[in-house]
């Protein structure tokens, strides 16, 4: 069982609000990822990080931003949430010595 | 573009029977494949993986088969149990790719009937 945590698990907010989704892992993994997933659909990579102070955009264009100031922490921020941002956001991490990504429980975001 | 896809969106299986979930991939450069299980309200959970230098790998009650000739991946679950009910995703990733990006296919829902 991987030690990767996401908060909040569920979030319902109004349009225009700024939100930050938290992701933390206690495994010392240097590589971290954010995916967006609609119910029952495939996962789409929106951001990833090789390590501290490293962030890259993923395959799916996203209006969100990320930061990586500490190894264990990889927060995702939406400056102005819109209904189109309603989705599940999954965080994952891996160590450089393996290709297996371990996922957190996800944050289900609903923007009204 | 490159894609990973699943043949069956929903698979109903009797408890105790074996399940087979199929996945096709199109990126011939992929050399790492992985299966995840996702239960309702949870994040994907690692099941088993396989590298392209292998054609079969076994875990506890699960077996992954890789056929590089036809770019096909399958997951076999032996003696399917109610706890196996979930959505299963396959994913592929070139080992050397920047950031080890994984490309996910659409999920297959497995429903285990008592």
Segment B18-75, tens digit of pLDDT: 999 999 987 888 889 999 999 988 999 999 999 999 999 999 999 999 999 999 999 9
B48 touches chain A (CB under 8 A): no
pLDDT of res. B54: 96
Evaluate whether A109 touches A86 at the Cβ level (below 8 Å).
Answer: yes
DSSP state of B28: T
- Closest chain A C-alpha to B5 CA, distance in angstroms: 9
Lowest mean pLDDT among A14-18, A29-33, A93-97: A93-97
Nearest residue to A67 via CA among A82, A79, A80, A51: A51
Most confident of A15-19, A60-64, B7-11: A15-19
pLDDT of res. A29: 92
The answer to whether residue B8 scores a pLDDT higher than 70 is no
Tokens coding B20: 């087979």
The pLDDT tens digits of the residues spanning B59-87 come to 999 999 999 999 999 999 999 999 999 99
A–B CB contacts, 8 A cutoff, strictly below: 62
B24: Cβ contacts below 8 Å, ≥ 6 apart: B4, B5, B6, B7, B71, B72, B73, B105
Alpha-carbon dihedral sign for residues B81, B54, A3, A67: negative
Express as a percent the part of chain A with pLDDT over 70.
98
pLDDT of res. B1: 39
DSSP state of A15: T
Q: How far apart are CA A62 and CA A106, in angstroms?
A: 17
Lowest mean pLDDT among A56-65, A100-109, B46-55: A56-65
Interface of A with B (CB under 8 A): 2, 6, 31, 33, 35, 40-45, 48, 50, 56, 58-59, 90, 92, 94, 99-106, 108
A103/B34 CB distance under 8 A: no
A1: Cβ contacts below 8 Å, ≥ 6 apart: none
Q: For residue B99, what pLDDT band results from cuts at 50, 70 and 90?
A: low
Q: How far apart are CA A102 and CA A97, in angstroms?
A: 13
B110 touches chain A (CB under 8 A): no
- Give buried/exposed letters for B27-62 (b at 16+ CB in 10 A, else e): eeebbbbbbbbbeeeebbeebbbbebeeeeeeeeeb
């Amino acid at each position: 069982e991987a030690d990767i945590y996401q908060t909040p698990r569920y979030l319902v907010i109004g349009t225009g609000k700024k939100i930050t989704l938290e992701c933390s892992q206690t495994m010392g993994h240097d590589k971290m990822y954010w995916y967006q997933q609609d119910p029952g659909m495939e996962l789409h990579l929106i951001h990833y990080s090789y390590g501290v102070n490293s962030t890259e955009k993923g395959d799916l264009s996203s209006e969100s931003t990320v930061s990586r100031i500490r190894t264990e922490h990889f927060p995702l921020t939406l400056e102005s949430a819109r209904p189109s941002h309603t989705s599940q956001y999954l965080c994952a991490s891996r160590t450089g010595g393996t290709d297996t990504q371990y996922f957190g429980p996800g944050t289900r975001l609903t923007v009204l | 573009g490159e894609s990973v896809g699943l043949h069956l969106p929903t698979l109903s299986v009797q408890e105790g029977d074996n399940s087979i979930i199929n996945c096709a991939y199109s990126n011939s450069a992929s050399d790492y494949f992985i299966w995840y299980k996702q239960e309702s309200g949870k994040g994907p959970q690692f099941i088993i993986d396989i590298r392209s230098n292998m054609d079969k790998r076994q875990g506890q009650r699960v077996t992954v088969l890789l056929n590089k000739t036809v770019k096909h991946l399958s997951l076999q679950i032996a003696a399917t149990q109610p706890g196996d009910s979930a959505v299963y995703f396959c994913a592929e990733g070139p080992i050397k790719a920047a950031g080890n990006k994984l490309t996910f296919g659409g999920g297959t829902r497995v429903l285990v009937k008592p």
